[in-house]
Amino acid sequence: MPENVLMKMNPTRLAFIKSYIGAAVLIAIWFVLYTGSIKILKLPDLYRSYTFAALILAAALTAIAEIRTRLETYVLTDYRITERTGLLSVHESSVSWDRIADVQMHQSFIERLVGVGTIDIQSAGGDEVPEITLKRIRNVRGVKDLVDQRMLESKKAVTLPHTIPAPQESTPQKASFSDRLRMFRKQ
């Protein structure tokens, strides 16, 4: 049975907002210096060609930010969570839902303002370094809730294969499909 992809994501561009703002400032500086719009900052013609360094630096900042957003891909499927990093040489790490031991979410003050964050996923039997790190992702709370839900559902399926858990007091919208099916069978 093929795996269904639940979610595929990359780090968000909002995480690199400093690079984009820096590039915009450098372009503005180049424009002012090159055109001589401000009389006090008017450069002699000899130095005007050196202002193109600001444009080159702005392009480099933008390119680096764009490459960094595409270097990392995170895929959540029915069976596992996968982190893929790299451009020329690729490193891929996967952890099945039932092997996840700990999930931690981190957000700095600035990340909270722009709505991004990082999730560290530790596997059972792993060392202290997180097995998978979902860096600078959007909707970090929603992704963490999905990871927690999948982790708990897989652990229930592994540890209690022949028993039916007691019905939980929750609304039907929040109950998982398997819980609703069990409640339906009891009736």
Q: Shortest CA distance to 165 belongs to which of 148, 183, 177? A: 183
Non-local CB neighbours of 177 within 8 Å, separated by 6+ positions? none
pTM of the model: 0.70
In CATH, the architecture of 5-10+72-161 is: Roll (2.30)
Taking a C-beta distance cutoff of 8 angstroms, is the pair 17, 114 a contact? yes
pLDDT at 127: 76
Distance CA 85, CA 80 (A): 16
The pLDDT value recorded for residue 157 is 75
Could you give the CA distance from residue 118 to residue 129 in angstroms, rounded to a whole number?
A: 14
Give me the tens of pLDDT residue by residue for the chain, a chain 187 residues long: 688 999 999 999 888 888 999 999 999 988 888 777 776 766 676 677 778 888 999 999 999 999 989 999 999 999 999 999 998 899 999 999 989 989 999 999 988 988 899 999 998 877 778 889 999 999 999 999 999 999 888 888 766 555 555 555 555 455 565 665 565 455 4
Query: Could you give the CA distance from residue 8 to residue 75 in angstroms, rounded to a whole number?
Result: 4
Q: What pLDDT was estimated at residue 14?
A: 85
Return d(Cα 55, Cα 73) in angstroms, integer: 30
Q: Is 166 helix (H, G, I), strand (E, B) or coil?
A: coil
Residue-by-residue DSSP string for 39-92: GGGPPPHHHHGGGHHHHHHHHHHHHHHHHHHHHEEEEEESSEEEEEE-SSS-EE
* Residue length of the chain: 187
